[in-house]
């Protein structure tokens, strides 16, 4: 019989109606259905909406995962969906293991009619106990996605996640000893000024700029700002479009490269921001 640790962190899956909306209140013993053929242990690590996730929570989760992996055949993490991509990337880049570490969650609270909580937990348990998928993955709505390649594409549909590009990390990083240097994440729009990027860069050690399509920057003062900032900090260009960037494809992309920015390539914005944070704090 496989021994699986289930770590709860809150999220919609643990939610009940607080009178002001859904908030995570349910502990693991109220969430986990019967899982035949699997011996489970529950660790209630913290209980927050994933919108509230910060590096301090990743540290607690990383420590819980790495300390307990030797004791179990796999680990399941119940997590809110809104920052699932960030947490998945953090663990994918930092946890070295041949055992399954499986994230899952739900779009409806476990006690809601027609909730997807128990189906997703059962699916995650099958993946964790099966041992076919090693390392960090998301198991959600019968999809399995690498932890660093998660993108949430729906706010209400139960089938809420997709693989961004097929990206799989080839390098591991040590988990930072402290939060340290933090990147800024900027979303480019026709309303963005160079000053907006300058202000976002203050007290930050790097910038991820999410642009359009295959990636690029406009031919205005933004190019000048990026040229100056790239002399003192890393700047990575990503896209909101599934598939990633190719800054060599268009003139606007080559402009970004000439200004000193780097191509995010197959990395989602969340993945690029997490990797930058890890790189800057080694």
Burial zone of 153 (CB within 10 Å; 0-12 exposed, 13-18 middle, 19+ buried): exposed
CB of 21 closer than 8 Å to CB of 111: no
d(CA 230, CA 38): 51
Strand arrangement of the beta sheet that strand 38-48 belongs to? 38-48, 2-10, 74-78, 100-104, 135-140, 143-146
How many residues does the structure list for the chain? 282
d(CA 52, CA 95): 22
Residue 103 token pair? 């994230």
What is the tally of helices (H) and strands (E) in the chain?
Answer: 7, 14
Closest to 100 in 3D by CA, of 55, 56, 137, 62: 137
> For the chain, what is the largest distance between any 2 Cα atoms, rounded to a whole number of angstroms?
62
- Neighbouring residues of 25: CB distance < 8 A, sequence distance ≥ 6: 14, 15, 16, 18, 47
Q: Residues with catalytic annotation?
A: 12, 81-82, 152, 250
- The alpha-carbon radius of gyration of the chain (Å, integer) is 20
């Amino acid at each position: 019989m496989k021994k699986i640790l289930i770590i709860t962190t809150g999220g919609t899956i643990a939610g009940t109606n607080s009178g002001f909306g859904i908030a995570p209140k349910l502990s693991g013993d109220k969430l986990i259905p019967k899982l035949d053929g699997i011996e489970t242990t529950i660790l209630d690590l913290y209980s927050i909406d994933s919108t509230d996730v910060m590096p301090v929570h990743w540290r607690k989760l990383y420590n819980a995962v790495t300390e307990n992996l030797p004791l179990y055949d796999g680990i399941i993490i119940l997590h809110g969906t809104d920052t699932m991509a960030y947490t998945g990337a953090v663990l994918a880049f930092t946890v070295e293991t041949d055992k399954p570490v499986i994230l899952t969650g739900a779009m409806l609270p476990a006690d809601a009619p027609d909730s997807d909580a128990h189906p997703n937990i059962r699916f995650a348990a099958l993946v964790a106990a099966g041992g076919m998928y090693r390392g960090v993955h998301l198991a959600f709505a019968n999809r399995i996605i690498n932890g660093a390649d998660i993108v949430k594409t729906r706010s209400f549909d139960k089938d809420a996640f997709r693989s961004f590009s097929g990206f799989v990390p080839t390098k591991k990083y040590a988990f930072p000893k402290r939060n340290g240097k933090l990147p800024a994440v900027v979303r480019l729009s026709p309303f963005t000024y160079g000053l907006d990027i300058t202000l976002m860069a203050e007290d930050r050690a790097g910038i991820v700029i999410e642009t359009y399509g295959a990636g690029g920057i406009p031919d205005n003062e933004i190019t000048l700002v990026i040229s100056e900032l790239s002399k003192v900090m890393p700047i990575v260009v990503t896209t909101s479009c599934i598939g990633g960037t190719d800054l060599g494809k268009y003139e606007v992309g080559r402009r970004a490269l000439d200004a000193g920015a780097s191509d995010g390539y197959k990395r989602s914005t969340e993945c690029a921001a997490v990797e930058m944070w890890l790189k800057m704090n080694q």
